[in-house]
């Protein structure tokens, strides 16, 4: 079984090394990890490259059986918006989605009071982000790691891989 590895790590300086580590953990549990940088970056003008990267990611997700999404807040209050799209895409395909975060606080606790309603459901993120994980029979694995380890600590990721293995074996 193949697992699509979704998350904002692709924007980090050590993105390839993180992908290698994640794929090794998947392999330890009998899965094949599929990471966006498994495909070479296309060439061309900026918009052409962006569209080709999108096409490559969709093709990779189509070949996968499961997704594991890093839902750690990225550049703000919520998870990376591109990862959220990938979560929705995999869910719409009827494929299980597992999620993890290295920031344990509830979404409502991270929101500033701006006078608008806040989704206070005890979720890590917006209900439309967390819903596919719940619908897949799980919950978002939460860890609370230091800022220095926020993008390199893979304990919660490994817990998701373990859950995926348990579900696959059931």
The pTM for the full model equals: 0.95
pLDDT in tens, 95-106: 999 999 999 999
Averaged pLDDT, 125-146 = 94
Q: Which residues pair with 99 in a beta bridge?
A: 69
Domains of the chain: 2-169 (3.40.50.450)
pLDDT in tens, 9-55: 999 999 999 999 999 999 999 999 999 999 888 888 999 999 999 99
CA atoms of 111 and 139, how far apart (whole Å): 21
**pLDDT score of 139:** 87
N-term to C-term CA, the chain = 14
* Closest of 21, 22, 27 to residue 6, by C-alpha: 22
Tell how strand 66-70 and strand 141-142 pair up. unpaired
CA atoms of 6 and 68, how far apart (whole Å): 6
């Amino acid at each position: 079984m193949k697992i699509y590895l979704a998350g904002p790590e692709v924007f980090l300086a050590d993105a390839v090394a993180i992908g290698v580590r994640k794929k090794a953990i998947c392999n330890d549990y009998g899965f094949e990890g599929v990471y966006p940088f498994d495909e070479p970056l296309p060439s061309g003008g900026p918009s052409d490259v962006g569209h080709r990267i999108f096409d490559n990611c969709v093709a990779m997700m189509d070949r996968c059986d499961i997704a594991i999404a890093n839902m750690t807040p990225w550049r703000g209050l919520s998870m990376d918006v591109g990862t959220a799209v990938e979560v929705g895409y995999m869910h719409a395909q009827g494929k299980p989605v597992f999620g993890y975060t290295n920031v344990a606080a509830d979404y409502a606790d991270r929101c500033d009071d701006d006078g608008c309603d806040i989704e206070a459901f005890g979720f890590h993120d917006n209900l439309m982000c967390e819903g596919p994980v719940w619908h897949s029979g799980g919950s978002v694995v939460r860890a609370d790691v230091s800022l220095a380890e926020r993008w390199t600590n893979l304990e919660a990721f490994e817990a998701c891989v373990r859950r995926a293995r348990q579900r696959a074996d059931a």
